[in-house]
Amino acid sequence: MRDEPRSGCAINAAVEALGDRWSLIVLRDVIFGGRRHFRDLLVNSEEGIASNILSSRLKALVAGGLLTHEEAERGRRGTYSLTEAGIQTVPIMVALGSWGLRHRPTTPELSVRARLLEEAGPSLWKDLMDELREVHLGISRPNPDRPLASRLLQEAYERVMAESA
């Protein structure tokens, strides 16, 4: 990842930070899949990311300020955490998912979360971002009485899986 963008264009700067598909997939898996360790990201990738590509993307995401990496003691796993900049990609992910629903073939199982996020709108995105801040940054959710957004997304996925079984 370059230190200086090629131009002063905001879209260009975002594309340089997020523009390759594997970086977006890694962020998706951290945000929506709760995957925070290298092995988890590698083994549970729907798209089958190669270990060398995953390693380079994680390094780029850390260098770009979207993730942090806590080195582990010997015999333990290092943990990746979203930064505030990484958390603020949630609306981008929602927009990409909405576009994909309309313009690309998808499966009910793997598109149900995108559909729910699109239909529920910004209040669910905000709840998800607050939850991510709690998990990754240690900042308590401002509305702890509200249902966990991740739980709502998981329950929607489980319903679709049960219906298709």
Per residue in 14-71, pLDDT (tens digit) is 888 777 889 999 999 999 999 999 999 999 988 999 999 999 999 999 999 999 999 8
Mean pLDDT taken over the chain: 91
Tell me if 38 is assigned to some domain. yes
CATH assignment at residue 65? 1.10.10.10
For residue 117, give its domain range.
89-164
pLDDT at 9: 85
Same domain, 42 and 18: yes
Tell me if 1 is assigned to some domain. no
Using the predicted structure, report yes or no on whether residue 165 has a pLDDT greater than 80.
no
Per residue in 5-28, pLDDT (tens digit) is 677 788 788 888 777 889 999 999
Give the total number of structural domains in the chain.
2
Tally Cβ neighbours within 10 Å of residue 105: 6
Tell me if 4 is assigned to some domain. no
